[in-house]
Amino acid sequence: MVIAAIAEPFSLFQTWFAEAEVHEPNDPNAMALATATRQGAPSVRMVLLKGADTRGFVFYTNFDSRKGQELLTNPAAALCFHWKSLRRQIRVEGPVQSVTPEEADTYFFSRPRGSQVGAWASQQSRPLTNRAELEERVAEIEHRYPHDVPRPPYWSGFRLTPLVIEFWQDMPSRLHDRLIYKRDRENAPWKTLRLQP
């Protein structure tokens, strides 16, 4: 089915995402996140979308991790959602900025206790001598915070503000349908065009 073009991409994203939540068997909110160093060396990994609205796409991480450091020094990124069950993908590109402390607190305190403890215990992306070292750190944090676990100062989120959103739908004979939305800056009007497969 050819993608119906509408004036802005956010409602189309929400429609596709809702369908993925029904049909995709595992982690419909999983997305590939591509970042780069200041010198332009790229890296990519899977993360989970934790919020999406007209302001952008939100995910959370340890700011001391590789992706956190890359985003802090080179605040631009790309995302790719791929829903194999629906034979669809969405690519997103744009600048990133940190979410507010209030947003980070709200999400952190909604997480299971084990994930909160893990945010303190894991020195993400740093070398680990052995698994026992990590497990000892988990026990130490659980002892330190027997009740409420505060949000670590280095743990927060980023919001990617999209300047490009491309919708891709599988079609017969590899003649896929590609609809792209582009704008020059946040709150600027979107321009829409179709791309050849």
Measured CA to CA, the distance from residue 92 to residue 77 in angstroms comes to 8
* Structure-token pair, residue 5: 């073009």
According to DSSP H, which parts of the chain are helical? 10-23, 66-73, 101-110, 113-121, 131-144
CA distance 179 to 192: 7
CB 178 within 8 A of CB 142: no
Q: Are 33 and 42 in contact (CB under 8 A)?
A: no
183 as an active site residue: the answer is no
The DSSP H or E segment spanning 53 is strand 51-53
Query: Which one from 45, 91, 113, 174 is the annotated catalytic residue?
Result: 174
Torsion angle defined by CA atoms of residues 22, 181, 164 and 8, in that order, rounded to the nearest 10 degrees: -60
Distance of alpha carbon 129 from alpha carbon 137, whole angstroms: 12
- Residues annotated as catalytic (active site), given as ranges: 174
